Every structure is written in structure tokens, then in C-alpha cells.
Structure 1
Amino acid sequence: MSDTQTEENLSSSIVPSQSPGTAACESEPIHIPGSIQPHGALLVVDPVSGRVVQAAVGPGCADAVAPDPVGCSLAEALVPDSAPLVRNLQSRLPAAGVVHLGLLRSGSTVHHMLAHRSDGAVLIELERARSAEPGSFDEVYPQVREFLDRVQRVADIDELTALSSREIRRITGLDRVLVYRFDPDWNGEVVAEDRNDRLPSYLGLHFPAADIPAQARELYRINRLRLIADASYTPSPIHPPVNPLTGRPIDLAFSVLRSVSPVHLEYMRNMGTGASMSISLLRGDRLWGLISCHNRDPATVPYHVRTACDFIGQVLSLQLVAQEASAVADRRNALRSIQNRLLARMAGAEHYVEGLVSNPGDLLALAAAEGAAVVTGGRITRVGATPSDDEVQRLVSWMAARQRLDVVATDSLAAAMPGGETIKDQASGVLAISVSQIHDSYVIWFRPEVVRTVTWGGDPRLHAETSADGTRLHPRTSFANWQETVRLRSRPWQAPEIDAVSELRTAIVDIVLRKAEETAALSEQLTTINKELEAFSYSVSHDLRAPFRHIVGYAQLLKKYEGDKLSERGNRYIDTIVESAISAGTLVDDLLGFSQMGRSTITPVTLDMTALVADLRRRMEADTHGRNVEWRIAPLPATRADPIMLRLAMQNLIENALKFSRHRDPAVIEIGAVETAEETIYHVRDNGAGFDMAYVGKLFGVFQRLHRVEEFEGTGIGLANVKRIAERHGGRVWAEGRVNVGATFFFALPKR
């Protein structure tokens, strides 16, 4: 029978909200159960006095232990044949883990004697041996060696886990052996199975993380093998319940006889399992998965067979880690080749974005993505299957509003970002790198939604429930297939892909920094050159003023005293010399003023702009005598600026308006201003000759003219002066115009 559910979000169903029962499972102190399984005996020995301080004796070992061992020496607590086994005990115990001391014989029965350290005490465990079981590991080794021979020829993880499940079932004789792998959220999946017909198949089924709580996973990590011989056993209690050496229950984390949670025993019985054995599979010090062995009826697995299974588990762990590491290394090498090509293109491009998107295939292949977007400087460049520019910008705003991370990776954008489900077809999965800690600059990769069906071994939402009287927990009773359709998730991003884009981020930052350093060095060089040019122009302009004045003065004297001796042509030549020298002198004066503008110190004061413009208008009345000029001057807001520089700027703009509107009747000169939160923008508008906006970029350059000198006089430096004054105040200038309609010049100054 199969239950089916469709969910919009995987996390809402696979990871259900924690119920009181689940919370109780998570907090259960399973390492200090206060009892053992009844097929053995436990003696807790004070290492200083050598006496037994706690004991638990199951029915299977009553003939090997004294009736009341607490308070006895270890030799007194055990049958006489134990003396050779416990001689020099302290020196034989490892710092961690269990050691096999040997076989203890008591009449016709034989017991394995094991020992380990815990809570400052020595724990001695007896486990009754079966008559036909292997007497040593050597008897099991031929079967292990056969496994070792075969495992060397397997290069696939699926084959490796299948081989391990077959071999362990063969040497244990149990009904079913599963290899169970954990995912990042600790949900498990059965990836291999070997069984007979006594128990059902669980191959391919998933089980929720709550089935193996965190404290149980920790015990699996530190103690690799656990046996439960009978799911219906009655535990043998430890007496006294509190260890007198510590004042608390004895820690049985490494005990082979440790009693298990009643909830887990009920869970086993609900599965139809009478006995189980688990072998941990580790990746380094982290739990990778389990080899889980089940038998329908109660069963014991002899100690040396368990040792062989533990050995197989360690070999399998090493092989799994090696093969995963090899696959990851191959993937990293492939991505590094792609990365090198991207770096070469970025290094050779004017801007890194050009190199990054010049070969879209490599950009997408670096993260195995369907689409990508590069966001920098307010510009979005998209390749492949991506959301729209507006959606990309919304994603960028969401990432920037959170704590700015170097790398962001999610395979469920819908679960992370409000409204993320609207772009599921292109971006259910997002992998992004932040290129700047200041600006919203990102490289983003996208993966579409992949709809898949997950089959669970029972409804994962029904883990454990509290009984009606609230005294205990009960696990779920059904393990029938329960299917779930998972939506709004992409293929997960793998570690090599995340590492590759992280390395790309580092490279981009290095490139940007290198470009910034080159730009800064160039800017510094240009600043030095500009200062030298300013000094040169100042010196030349200053030195040329006197010669030009001498030329004008001596030419005028020549005409005054010797003019009657010259021909008409000679007098005309003198007039031309005077006009040209005056024009050149004016140019030199303007150049001198321009160079001084970059060298002068700014002394800002609060200026009444209405009064300043009124004064300039009065001073220009002589130049407008006989002309029909209509002035439209609005009240102007005050500003803070250098008074000499700002007066010169406004004078240049007003003179410019009067000059280019001289052929209009009336000439309309409009002066006004608007204020924003950040700046005050003044404008001077005329109805004169205007200009073609195609050439607006030339207006504020030195010696740049849009009209012939025969039409309108001037040196071409006035507007350049206006631009320099605005920039020295942190402001800006621009212009708008239409030919034969007029022009408007804007002069903006910041309020701060």
C-alpha cells in the first residue's frame, strides 16, 4: 500500500515541526540507560582498590559471576579461572575502545571477557559464547580476505556497497543487510541491500532524521558496532544505579552490552525485526552512514564474527572516502581548467565582465548551471536561461539586504526568499558570489526546478507519539511506502562547484584591485602632469602679458607720431597689429585666469545669489546699451561657495547668454534655480543662436567653439572656467540647446 502527498516545499514535509515526542527522543540519555542486555554481565571496577562498585548480571552469565559481586575484588567476583585474564589489567587497557581479554570458562560454558575504561572506572563485560562459533579472528579471516580481494577490483560506490552487504550477510547468516547513507539533513536512504524472503525489501527507501536522533548518531560515531540480540529482551539493571566513584550513572557509550531505548525496541518490533546489528561507516570523524543488519527472530552474532564485520566496515569506509575523494578531485580538476580559461579572458579584457561573458559556455559550465547573470555598476548582463532583469535586480536587493556574504548557495530559493517561487523555472537554485563589499556587484548562476518523487519507509511526519497517559513514547507502526512529490528545488550545488566559484570570486577581486591600482597610479601621474601644465601655462601666460602690451603700446605710438609719414596700407597694417595683439593679450589673460582657477584656495562663504546676479546685471548695462533685453530673474536661493570664483562663473554664463542672443529682438535672458535634497541647480537661459546637441560634449573644453569667430568673438575658455569652478566646489555643469532657438546652461552646487 502506498500513500502519496504533493508538497510545494520539501522542507515543510521532510523536516516536520518538532513534536513533543520527537523532542523527548532527542533528549533521551541513551548512553546511561542504567541496565544491560541480558545475554551478558557487567562489572564496574574501581581501578585504585580493584573492587567491584557496580554490577549487572544477566541470566546467561550467572554461572560465571559471584551471586553478589559488588564490594568483591575482581578475582573474587569471577570464577577462579579468571585470574590469568585479569593479570596486569591496567597495562592492557587502551586509552579508548574495547579490548578482548580472552575466553573465560565456567564448567561447560565459555564467555568472552571484554574490558574498557569509562568515567574513571574499568568496565569488565562477559558475553556468553555459542558452542559452534569461531574461536578466534583467524577462523573468520579467510572470508574477510576474500572480501578484500574482491573490493580491490570495484571502482563504483554502488557496486562497493552492494558487495559489502552481500559479504556481511554471508558471514553473519542474518536475514537482511542494508547499507544506509545519510544526507546533509541526516535523513537516510537505503543504497544497497542483500536479503532472503523472511524480511521485506527497503532498497531505495528514505527514512527521516528523527528515526536516528542526534545523540544516537553520536554514539554510532564513537562506537562503531552495536548488537541487539533480542528486541523483546528484559533488561538486567545495574546495582547500585549510581556509580559511587562519580555520583552519577555509569556511561556505557563503549559497552557492547549497553541496553537500548524501549522506544527503539518497539520500533524494531514494529518493523518485524527480532534482532539487529549496526556497523558505522565514517568519513573521517563524521558519520557517512550505517551497515544495518536485521533478523526476523532473535539472534546473536559471535564476537569474532562481529570483529570481522567491524573490519569490513572500516575497509568500506576507507574505500568510500577514497572513491568520493577521487571523484571530487576529478571534478575539481575539470572545473579548474574552465576557471583558468575564464581568468585568462578576464585578465586580457578592458573590464572583467567582458572577459567573463565572452564565452558563455565556460561561465555556465563552471557551476554546471543553466543560466548566469553578472551585475555591476547598475548593469545586468545575462547568459543562458535566466530570470528577467527586474527579477535579477530583486534577487540582488534581497541578497544585499541580508548580511553580505562572499558566497550564497541555495537549492530552494522559494524557501529562502519571499516570492522566489515565481522564478522557479529558471532559478529554483541560486549560487552567487559578491564581488564588492560596498556596491551591489554579483555573479549569479541559476538552476531550474527539478520535480522528483521521494519514497519513504512510512510517513516521515509520524515519528513518535506520547502515550495517552503521557508516561512514554511510541514509535510509528507503519513502514509502508509513502511517496512525496518534491517541488521548488533544483539539483543541489556540490562542494567542488561552490569552491570553484569562490576561487573565481577571489580572482575577480584581485583583478579589480589590480585595475584600481593601475588607475590610481595613472591618475596620480595625470595629476602630476596637470600640475606641471598648470604651472607652465601660468608661467607662460604671466610672461607673455608684458610683451603683448608693449606691442600694442609701441604700435599705437608709431601710428601717433609717424602715422602721417605712412601710407594708407601701412596705417592699416598697424591697426591689424594692434587688434591682434589686444586679442592675443585677452587670450593670455584668460589662460592665466584658467590656470589660477586650479591653483587658488577655495574660501567658501554664504552668498546671496539674488544680490550677486543683480550686481552683475548692473555692471553689464553698458554692454547692452541700445539693445532690447528682457530680463527674467527669479528669486535665487543662497549657497556656500568661494565668492570670487562663483562671481566669475555667473558672469561668464550671463555674458555668454548676452553674446549669443545679440541678434534677437528682444533678447530674453532667464536666470533661475531649483533645489533638491542634495544640491542647488542654477540655470541661465537665452533665446539666442543655440547649438546642436550632437556637439554638447565639446562645450566645456578649452578652446572649444561651436561658432565661427567672425560670428561671435571669444577665446573659448569661458565655459571651461565655469566647469572648473563647479568641479572644484564638488558640483557639475551641463547644457541643453537647439540651433536658432536658444541654450540653457546648468550650474549645480552640492548642499554639503
Structure 2
Amino acid sequence: MHQGSDPAPNLDLTSCDREPIHVVGSVQPHGFLLALEVRTLTIVQASANAPAPAAVGVTLDVAFPHLAAIVRRHLGEAGPLAGASYLRTVTLTSDAARLTYEVAAHRVDDLVVLELEEIAPSTMGVGLDVLTPRLRTFVERLQTARTVEDLCQLVAEDIRQVTGLDRALVYRFDRDWHGTVLAEDGNGALPSYLDLRFPASDIPAQARELYRRNRLRIIPDAGYVPVPIQPATTPAGKALDLSQSVLRSVSPVHVEYMRNMGTMASMSVSILVDGALWGLISCHNAEPKRVPLHARNACDVLAQIFALQLLARERGAQAEQRLALGAIQARLLGFMAEEDSFVDGLLKHPDDVLALVNAAGAAVVTADRCRLLGATPGEAEVRALYAWLSARSETDDVFVSEALSETIPEAAILTDRASGLLAISVSKKYASYILWFRPEVVRTVKWGGNPVKPALPDPGGGPDRLHPRKSFEIWKETVQGRSLPWSAAEVEAAKDLRSSVLGIVLRRAEELAAMSEELQRSNKELEAFSYSVSHDLRAPFRHIVGYSNLLKTREGANLSDKGRHYVDTIIEAAFSAGTLVDNLLSFSQMGRNALNKVSGDMNALVEEVRRKALRDVPPDRTVLWDIQPLGRAYADPVMLRLVIENLLSNAVKYTRGKAEAVITMGRLPPKDGEAVFFVRDNGAGFDMAYVDKLFGVFQRLHRVEEFEGTGIGLANIRRIVERHGGRTWAEGTVGEGATFYFTLPLREEVR
């Protein structure tokens, strides 16, 4: 027993994949081959061991008239052929010898290929009916098998009994085309390979394709001498395609492989599930031995029955898993539909999010947020994975890997939590992903010998080629950096969730678009109404103030003290109402005026506004100004001036109770493509419990008797900033001051 690491990680095995094993130009000697022109049945190619009458250029009618009649009848009855068809048993007389053959035929382009396999005297006259009881018993036993491994064991036992060979293996391919022996039956003449793994290079790609197209192959004697086909090419000038051949000679590499295994005869039957190559039933014998036709036909039937049962089991298991995952998905869909954001529906039900694909951890990641569920890498590592997924050039919206470090070497440090990754994109416009993680599962794989095949020099001076390994002693490999694989049902569940999320987002977007359209219409009507009302009210209020002042100056001497007080109250109220109307008019115009954005110096604008604000400060007040470097901003200068005027005048107003007022304006580092500005004061402050009301129209957090104002200034600020695509918010403490923030989108040239 040996131990090793990754099998041949840098070895190029493609030379085996390129070997043209379907056009080897020779057959095995336990029969002979004839290639006939399909219309005239003229022999155009023949194997060198064909009987003398079957010479190239001779018609089959001349060489073997009885056989020609059988072939014509077959060609007249046969439809499209997927492979070789056995016609019947014939006895041919040649040079005073009478030999009996099983005849098989298949089409290759404009040729019909006949293969005549000599029948051993001991099997003469034996048919498939001899094995019917065993086939019936096999079908009954299949119904009792509880697992796939049990099914495999049953077919291994029956195939070996039918063939009489020393050992029968059931060999399954994984997604990387490595094969594992799931079941075995033997008589002890050959070593056991049960549970051993064999590398994909043992059966290269073109051999697997032949196994898919031609279900059954035999090699009665690994020491055979190939019989060449003459001439070497067809009338079309190319080598004869032997993909469907029964007698086809095999690659010298395969013969060498058999000898190294200690086997001199073999038979393999392909296991096809839904037309795909699932695995092989591989049989071996220590001594040369030919399995007769009736036994091979029985094995073919057994393999097909087994494949159907296997397909039913696998489909049943997949359907059961899909049903369970579908129930979880339905719950998640309901949860997401109940929330304003699908993300909230997922975050509030982490167990279902993980159970949907049987993951240990998950993350929902957008450009600005990263939410983690269960056992995941840290936020920084998840964001790095998110950046890699977002930058991929592939258009597939689903990424699946059970060995993430093989795709992203830097992810090797994450194997304890993220050896496996399943990720779906949930936005076509913005990079947003749901990621699921699986931890590493360290396991030991037992290989049938060292899987590293040495490339050895060719004695003939050709390029180095791979040779089969000579030892099949168990070679152990520790597999690391891999999670349990994601099943097809789990990947489909993730895709279905993606479709559900996109559907919810689309529906919400449509609802929001309809609401936005309605709000825009309502806002326009309200703006028009407020503009009309405020515009029409300005003149009456001015008249009230004007005539009240005239009454006070001209008739004041005739009024009592109480009368003059009444007039002063009227003047003050009308003036306040007029100011309110002016502010309302200004507020309504904010949504009507077009923006004229330019890049400007913020410090210059603030200094200009500050000087104006200083004119309104009584000389007995002390105001300390701290204006920090503000850089440039891209905005409408007229509207931006209103924002700064409101903020600075508010700061002056709400610090009047302080012996020394301190007013600061600064700029924070940019965040998410925005420039962030603030105005801070040490004045009256406010209670954060009412911060949501602060920027509303007519919302005041202080009494008019304390601080004058109409409650529209901050609403104007918010409206102006939002029209620029920015945000506003505030922080404050009662008696200690307040800080007001606003943002403006950055432009590349002003960042």
C-alpha cells in the first residue's frame, strides 16, 4: 500500500485522448471482416484472415451465395441502425473446411460491414433461451435492492455467472470521469478492486465515446496478433470506421494495460442512463477465454434492465429531493413577498436559506451591504469573492464550485468555511449576489495503483507516450480543499430562487414606477396649487401691512393705547403671514426651476454667505467661525447658496443663547460616490426622538417665542439636495448643539 498526493497535476494526458482507436485498421483473429459496396455487395475490403473465396473485387454472390441472400434480406428489412445487428448463424465451406459463424452487420457510409465470428463447438446451438430463467430471477431480485450499491452488486453477480469469467466489476464515472468500483463479484483467481478509484486517463475521451456508441466489447485473448484489413482504405480513400465493430482490434496501450493487470481476457458492457455513459460492467479472466454470443446477448439485456432500474431510482431520489427543496423555496417566496425588500425576507429566515441548498453558511451581498448567515468567511473575504464574481467575463448568472481554491488560488485560506461555493446573481442592473458556502471535507481516496502515468521515450524515436502503470497495489491519496458536491437539484433550487427574486424585484419596480408616476402627478398639482395660492395671497397681505401702517401713522393719535396695540398686532401677524407666503412660494418654485449645475469653489461660496450672515448678528454677540477646506462641488450655485444660507442662518439663530457661539462647516471623506458636507453648532440642539420631523414642511421643534421662523427652511434644504441626487440628515443633543449633513454626487473631474 502506498500513499500519494494529487495524481499527475501537471501531466498532459491528451496524447491518449487523440489516439484514433476507431480506425485502427485491424481486427481480432477470432473472426473475419468483409466491407461490401451496398448496392452490388462487391467486397471492397477484407481482413487478411478471410476465406480465400472472399477476395477483394469479388461479389458476395460469387463467394458465399447463401450469405448474400441473408444480407440482402437484412438490408431490405432494416431501418436506421444504431449499431451492429446479429443476422443469424451460417456455415461456410471453403477449401474443404466447414466452419460455423455468427454473422453481424452494420452500415458505414455507402458500405455494409459484415463480421463473422467463429462459433466454438461447445456452444453450437445454444441460444438465449437457456438463460431466460436467470434473467427472470435477476429482474425479481432487482425489485428488492434498497440502494444503488445493492443494485450494482446484483448485476455484478449475475454477469459473472452468465459469462463464467473470473471477476466482474461495476465501475461508475464521476463528473471528472474518474471511475470508482462500486461492486464486485469474483472467484478469487484475480485480486479485488472493490472501492478502488481509477483515473480518467485510464479510459480516455475517445474510448468513452466508443463505449457510449457500442455497448459491448470483448477481448478473448490479450496476446492476440492483430489481423490487418486490406486494402487499408475504403474506395472513398479513408480508413474504415470500426466504431460499431464487434471484432475491432484495440489500442496497444489497452492490451498492455490488461497484461499489467494480470488479465488475458476481458468483456465490458456500457451502462447508459438517459443516453449518457454512467459507468461500465467490466469483466476479466486470468486466462484467455471467449464469451459466447448468447451469453453476451444476455449480459447486454441484464445491463439494459439494470440501467432502467438505476434511472428510475435516480429519478425518484432527485424528484424527492426537488420536492423537499421546492417546499423550502415556496416558504422563502412567501417570506420575501411579505417584506418591503426580498433581502429582509431572507435574513429573517436563515435556516430556510441554508436548507435550500444544504449549505453551512450564506451571504447576501450588494454594492453597499454585506449580510452573513451561518458559518461563512469574514466580511472582507466575502466582499473579495463578490468583487471576483462581479468582474467575471462569463455571462452565466450561476457559479458552482466544490473546489473553490482550484478556480481562485487565493481562496485556499478559506477552505474551512468555503471550499464549496454556489452563487447566484439577483440583479441584472446592479451587482448583487446570494452566496452559499460549504466547508472542506477531507477524505482518503484509494487508487488502483499510482495514478501517475510516466511518459516514456518511444524506442522507434517518436514522441514520448504514456504507458499504463505496472502495479495496481492500493495507492492512497488524501483529498483536501473540496466540499461535498452540489447536486443538480440544489443548483436548480438556487436558480429557481433567483427567478423568484427577479420576479419580486420586477413586480416591486412596476409598483414603485406606478406610485412614482402618481406622486409626480400629485406633486405637480400641489406645486401648481401652492404657487397659485401663495402668489395670490402676497398682495392682500401687503395691503394689510401697508394700510395698517397708514392707520398707525395718520390716525394713531386718535387711537387709544389698546387700539394702537391692536394695530401693531395686525401689522406683525400680516408681516409674518406674508413671510410665510413668500417662503411657500420659494418652496413651490424649487420643484419647477431647472437645475443649472456647474463646478464651483465651496469655500468662496460659504465665505460670501457668511459675510451676509454676519450683518444680522448683533454687535454684542460672539460668534467663532471654523470653515474648513471644502473643495469643489458640482451643483446649481443659486440653489446651493440657499442651502448654505439656511444652514448658516439657522446655526446663528439657534446659538443666540450661548455666550460664545461656535459654528463649523467641513467636508468628510467621500463615500459611495458622494461628497459629504456638514454644518455644526453648539446651540440649542434638539431631541433625536423627533429627528424624522425635522425636514418636514411647517415642522418646528422649538416654540416661536424662543426662535422665530416658519418651519420651511429645512424642507427647502432637503428638496434642493434631493433634486441634486443627494441626501440630508441631522444629529443633535438638547442644549449641546446640532450637526446637519448633506451630500452631493461626485463628478470624476471634481473628486
Q: Structure 1 length as normaliser, TM-score? A: 0.89
Is the 8 Å Cα contact of residues 363 and 372 (structure 1) preserved in structure 2? Answer: yes
**From 95, 104, 108, the counterpart of 1:114:** 104
Call closer, same or farther: CA 1:639–1:193 in 2, change over 3 Å.
closer
Alignment partners' CA distance in 1, 2:598 and 2:435 = 49
2:719 maps to 1:720:
no
Match of 2:2 in 1: 3
Q: Secondary structure at the match of 1:44?
A: strand
2:366 maps to 1:366:
no
Call closer, same or farther: CA 1:464–1:258 in 2, change over 3 Å.
farther
Match of 1:433 in 2: 424
Is the 8 Å Cα contact of residues 216 and 270 (structure 2) preserved in structure 1? Answer: yes
Match of 1:523 in 2: 516
Match of 2:86 in 1: 100
Alignment partners' CA distance in 2, 1:672 and 1:166 = 84
Is the 8 Å Cα contact of residues 466 and 474 (structure 1) preserved in structure 2? Answer: no
With 126-135 and 596-605 compared, the bigger mean Cα shift is at 596-605
Q: CA deviation at 1:566?
A: 3.5
Q: How does 1:38-53 map to 2 (within 5 A)?
A: 38-53=29-44
**From 314, 319, 335, the counterpart of 1:329:** 319
Match of 2:545 in 1: 552
Q: Secondary structure at the match of 2:486?
A: coil
Residues 427-483 of structure 1 show CA distances to partners (whole Å, capped at 9, x for unaligned) of: 222222221234443222222221111111111112664445545763211111111
Match of 1:382 in 2: 372
Match of 1:705 in 2: 700
2:571 maps to 1:578:
yes
Q: How does 1:328-727 map to 2 (within 5 A)?
A: 328-376=318-366, 378-403=368-393, 405-462=396-453, 465-470=456-461, 474-604=467-597, 623-624=616-617, 626-627=619-620, 641-642=635-636, 644-662=638-656, 689=684, 698-727=693-722
With 267-276 and 157-166 compared, the bigger mean Cα shift is at 157-166
Q: CA deviation at 1:258?
A: 0.8
Match of 1:70 in 2: 56
Alignment partners' CA distance in 1, 2:198 and 2:689 = 71
Q: Secondary structure at the match of 1:374?
A: strand
Residues 161-202 of structure 1 show CA distances to partners (whole Å, capped at 9, x for unaligned) of: 211121122122111111111111111111111111211111
Q: Secondary structure at the match of 1:408?
A: strand
Count how many residue pairs are aligned between Structure 1 and Structure 2.
736
Call closer, same or farther: CA 1:731–1:38 in 2, change over 3 Å.
closer
Is the 8 Å Cα contact of residues 453 and 467 (structure 2) preserved in structure 1? Answer: no
Match of 1:167 in 2: 158
Match of 1:29 in 2: 20
Q: CA deviation at 1:699?
A: 4.2
Alignment partners' CA distance in 1, 2:613 and 2:492 = 71
Is the 8 Å Cα contact of residues 54 and 60 (structure 2) preserved in structure 1? Answer: no
Letter in 2 for 1:102: R
Alignment partners' CA distance in 2, 1:420 and 1:638 = 41
Q: Secondary structure at the match of 1:419?
A: helix
Q: Secondary structure at the match of 1:31?
A: helix
Q: CA deviation at 1:402?
A: 2.3
Call closer, same or farther: CA 1:629–1:338 in 2, change over 3 Å.
closer
With 508-517 and 205-214 compared, the bigger mean Cα shift is at 508-517
Is the 8 Å Cα contact of residues 220 and 288 (structure 2) preserved in structure 1? Answer: yes
Q: How does 1:218-297 map to 2 (within 5 A)?
A: 218-243=209-234, 245-297=235-287
Letter in 2 for 1:38: P
Call closer, same or farther: CA 1:195–1:464 in 2, change over 3 Å.
farther
With 601-610 and 435-444 compared, the bigger mean Cα shift is at 601-610
Letter in 1 for 2:404: L
Alignment partners' CA distance in 1, 2:170 and 2:590 = 82
Is the 8 Å Cα contact of residues 606 and 639 (structure 1) preserved in structure 2? Answer: yes
Q: What percentage of residue pairs aligned between the two structures are identical?
A: 53
Letter in 1 for 2:76: S
Residues 14-63 of structure 1 show CA distances to partners (whole Å, capped at 9, x for unaligned) of: x63334xx4332221111111111111111112233221111143xxx6x
Is the 8 Å Cα contact of residues 46 and 53 (structure 1) preserved in structure 2? Answer: yes
Alignment partners' CA distance in 1, 2:174 and 2:702 = 76
Match of 1:212 in 2: 203
Alignment partners' CA distance in 1, 2:581 and 2:307 = 87
Q: How does 1:173-188 map to 2 (within 5 A)?
A: 173-188=164-179
Letter in 1 for 2:350: P
2:111 maps to 1:126:
no
Alignment partners' CA distance in 2, 1:459 and 1:401 = 39
With 571-580 and 550-559 compared, the bigger mean Cα shift is at 550-559
Letter in 1 for 2:708: E
With 37-46 and 406-415 compared, the bigger mean Cα shift is at 406-415
Is the 8 Å Cα contact of residues 38 and 57 (structure 1) preserved in structure 2? Answer: no
Alignment partners' CA distance in 1, 2:79 and 2:629 = 94
Letter in 2 for 1:488: G
Alignment partners' CA distance in 2, 1:188 and 1:505 = 34
Is the 8 Å Cα contact of residues 252 and 258 (structure 1) preserved in structure 2? Answer: yes
Call closer, same or farther: CA 1:523–1:299 in 2, change over 3 Å.
same
Letter in 2 for 1:391: E
Call closer, same or farther: CA 1:666–1:187 in 2, change over 3 Å.
closer
Residues 227-256 of structure 1 show CA distances to partners (whole Å, capped at 9, x for unaligned) of: 11110011111111122x111111111111
Call closer, same or farther: CA 1:356–1:606 in 2, change over 3 Å.
closer
Is the 8 Å Cα contact of residues 609 and 637 (structure 1) preserved in structure 2? Answer: yes
Alignment partners' CA distance in 2, 1:113 and 1:567 = 137
Alignment partners' CA distance in 2, 1:451 and 1:719 = 62
With 303-312 and 608-617 compared, the bigger mean Cα shift is at 608-617
Residues 660-717 of structure 1 show CA distances to partners (whole Å, capped at 9, x for unaligned) of: 4556677677777799796777766666555566655544332233433223322222
Call closer, same or farther: CA 1:746–1:506 in 2, change over 3 Å.
closer
Is the 8 Å Cα contact of residues 43 and 54 (structure 2) preserved in structure 1? Answer: no
Q: CA deviation at 1:603?
A: 3.8
Is the 8 Å Cα contact of residues 367 and 497 (structure 1) preserved in structure 2? Answer: yes
Call closer, same or farther: CA 1:666–1:174 in 2, change over 3 Å.
closer
Letter in 1 for 2:577: A
Alignment partners' CA distance in 2, 1:723 and 1:473 = 75
Q: Secondary structure at the match of 2:121?
A: coil
With 363-372 and 30-39 compared, the bigger mean Cα shift is at 363-372
Is the 8 Å Cα contact of residues 75 and 83 (structure 1) preserved in structure 2? Answer: yes
Call closer, same or farther: CA 1:88–1:440 in 2, change over 3 Å.
closer
Call closer, same or farther: CA 1:663–1:229 in 2, change over 3 Å.
closer
Call closer, same or farther: CA 1:621–1:137 in 2, change over 3 Å.
closer
Alignment partners' CA distance in 1, 2:259 and 2:724 = 84
With 718-727 and 205-214 compared, the bigger mean Cα shift is at 718-727
Q: CA deviation at 1:220?
A: 0.8
Alignment partners' CA distance in 2, 1:634 and 1:377 = 30
